[in-house]
Chain A
């Protein structure tokens, strides 16, 4: 009865020795190294490194977008400050231009659909576009402004060609509705 704990202790020592030997030989060491490397690299399926050209293009793209954002904010601020000052403190020019109807044909209506946009000249079209869901707007913009084919639009929106057709038909119906309303108003 007294021998049993002694044998158990010997077994424990043997196991410990075996583990230590395995690490010393390099069995466990390699596995550990591999695991630590995977952890360091962020997993087995690590993306392939980018080429220098790709990196530069991405840097330029980011630079351009940031520059346009800064310029846009700066120019708009300048424009609104000037507009406020001009209307507030220059009555002489207002006298000179009295009775002159200034029209800006370039000031067209703009409709956005996420990353796409289009310019419109008729108010009823603008209202119709704004009443449409984004996907219908996208279909019309890609079709009429970018001249894409239905298949290309379907690929872009990740829908079927039939869906593109349906979206376009629904968009036409909305435009027709707003055109009728405009005629009724006039």
Chain B
């Protein structure tokens, strides 16, 4: 059964349990803050161009993205782009982010509001264009829709 307007004693508050499924969705001009959710995508160097796909369980809106370079230096020809389809198809949600030096951060410079929302069960495709040393971690900041 359910309870409203009551409070867990601190010792009984559930731990390690909250996820995006629990969060509310927001709207424009919201007077109550919407919790941010993070998707982190570990992109291996791999042998060439490729995709790392993530099926989102909830509907989300992508509001920011950035790349952290890992495993040493990369190449100026590398890039990572969040897209709506595999193989470099569909539409780019973010700009093509490139970072060469290990540990450095590059943020997206564009977000296409025509495609920034992913429906529940849909797939985010992180497109890797590789020349050499394309390992990185991509962080996607989002809110529930």
* A and B: interacting chains: no
